Amino acid sequence: MSIAFGDELVQKVRDGWIPAHIYNDTEIFDAERTRIFGRSWQFLAHASEIPQPGDYVVRRVLDDSFVVARGEDGVIRVLFNMCLHRGMQICRAEMGNASHFRCPYHGWTYKNDGRLVGVPFHAEAYGGDRGLLRDEHQLLPAPAMEIFNGLVFVSLNPDVEPLRDYLGGAADYLSFYTAPTSEGIEVWGPQRWRAGWNWKIAAENFCGDSYHTPHTHASMLEIGLTPQIKGGQRKTGGTYNAGRGFGATFGLGEGDLETKLSGIGYPERAVANRKRYWPESIKSLVADSGHLPSSMTLFPNLSFLHLWVTVDDEGTAVPMTTMRLWQPVSESETEVFSWFAVDADASPEFKDASHRAYLMTFGSSGMFEQDDMENWLSLTRTAKGSMARRLVLNSRMGLLHNNDSLRQPLEGFSGPGTVIQGFSEHNQRGWLNLWLDCMSADEPATATTTRSDV
CA 19 to chain centre: 24
What is each CA distance from 365 to 29, 306, 341, in whole angstroms?
28, 18, 17
Model confidence at 279: pLDDT above 70: yes
Residue 21 included in any domain? no
Residue type, 41: W
What is the CATH classification number for the domain harbouring 388? 3.90.380.10
Across residues 111-115, what is the average pLDDT?
97
Contact of 289 with 415, CB cutoff 8 Å: yes
**Nearest to 153, CA basis, from 331, 342, 338, 300:** 300
Q: Are residues 185 and 290 in the same domain?
A: yes
What is each CA distance from 147 to 42, 243, 284, 352, in whole angstroms?
11, 19, 26, 27
**Nearest to 194, CA basis, from 372, 347, 51, 328:** 328
Q: Are residues 81 and 111 in the same domain?
A: yes
Q: Are residues 126 and 199 in the same domain?
A: no
Residue 14 included in any domain? no
What is the CATH classification number for the domain harbouring 102? 2.102.10.10
> How far is the C-alpha of 315 from the C-alpha of 159, rounded, in Å?
51
Q: Are residues 380 and 253 in the same domain?
A: yes
What pLDDT score was predicted for residue 213? 74
Q: Are residues 56 and 127 in the same domain?
A: yes
Model confidence at 80: pLDDT above 80: yes
What pLDDT score was predicted for residue 3? 52
What pLDDT score was predicted for residue 423? 87
| Secondary structure (3-state) at 288 | coil
Across residues 69-89, what is the average pLDDT?
97
Q: Are residues 136 and 220 in the same domain?
A: no
Q: Write down which residue in 89, 117, 147 finishes a domain.
A: 147
Is this prediction's pTM over 0.85?
Answer: yes
Residue 36 included in any domain? no
| Secondary structure (3-state) at 248 | strand
Residue 12 included in any domain? no
Q: Are residues 336 and 386 in the same domain?
A: yes
Q: Are residues 143 and 194 in the same domain?
A: no
Number of domains in the chain: 2
Model confidence at 83: pLDDT above 80: yes
Q: Are residues 92 and 220 in the same domain?
A: no
Q: Are residues 129 and 216 in the same domain?
A: no
Residue 119 included in any domain? yes
Task: Tell me which of 232 and 394 has the higher pLDDT.
Answer: 394
Q: Write down which residue in 147, 180, 197 finishes a domain.
A: 147
Model confidence at 81: pLDDT above 90: yes
Least confident of 134-143, 267-276, 367-376, 402-411: 367-376
Q: Are residues 142 and 182 in the same domain?
A: no
Residue 272 included in any domain? yes
Task: Tell me which of 427 and 444 has the higher pLDDT.
Answer: 427
pLDDT band at 218 (very low <50, low <70, confident <90, very high): low
Residue 65 included in any domain? yes
Q: What is the pLDDT of residues 296-347, one digit of tens each?
A: 999 999 999 999 988 777 778 899 999 999 999 999 999 999 999 999 999 9
Residue 7 included in any domain? no
Segments forming the whole domain that contains residue 143: 42-147
Which helix (H) or strand (E) covers residue 372, if one does?
helix 367-383
Across residues 158-167, what is the average pLDDT?
97
Q: Write down which residue in 117, 147, 177 finishes a domain.
A: 147
What is each CA distance from 181 to 276, 344, 354, in whole angstroms?
8, 8, 16
pLDDT band at 453 (very low <50, low <70, confident <90, very high): very low
> How far is the C-alpha of 54 from the C-alpha of 360, rounded, in Å?
34
